[in-house]
Structure 1
Amino acid sequence: MGKDRLSLTSLSDRLARKPVVDEAPTPSAILADSRTAATRRVQIIVRMSASERKALRQIALDQDTTAQALAEEAIRDVLNRHGYKPS
């Protein structure tokens, strides 16, 4: 093995040291941290039919915005409807 490459044992040792989280934070706890909500963005994947995608893109064009902006707005609406309001 070359000098610059780490062994698999070294890799497994490093992975074993990662802390294990017992439970995931609740959505309201995540939204409560304004620094996380304001500065950290994550990507999600949404599946839809071709006709739905076409309609979404047409709405975005009609409103002079992007499909991304419409999707973010829809997600915020769902969160608000279920009581998860950013602080």
Structure 2
Amino acid sequence: MLAVVLFGVLHIVSGAARYVANARNPAYPGKCYDTVTKSTVNKGATIYKGCEKWSCSNDYGLEVVGCGLAVAQQGCQIKSDSSKRYPDCCPKEVCPK
């Protein structure tokens, strides 16, 4: 049982997301505004920044989704490709064959 739990802990790849229900700002009409990064996204649009996907819904809900944490099991490595956009840029576990 311990081995199964340990394997589950060592083999983690999870995502990270945040949501702002009302991302309106009167200074930026027709856009969602993120107060944390001071970024804007047009209403109804999706953009990619870094290794994140930013979406602004028609009712001004702002969703930011990214890669989150990646942990490899013993003998494997975590590799990522920052030249690609989300989710292909996210860290992935690579194990020798």
TM-score normalised according to structure 2 size = 0.21
Higher fraction of helix: 1
**In terms of Rg, which structure is larger?**
1
Higher fraction of strand: 2
The structure with higher relative contact order (CA 8 Å, sep 6+) is 1
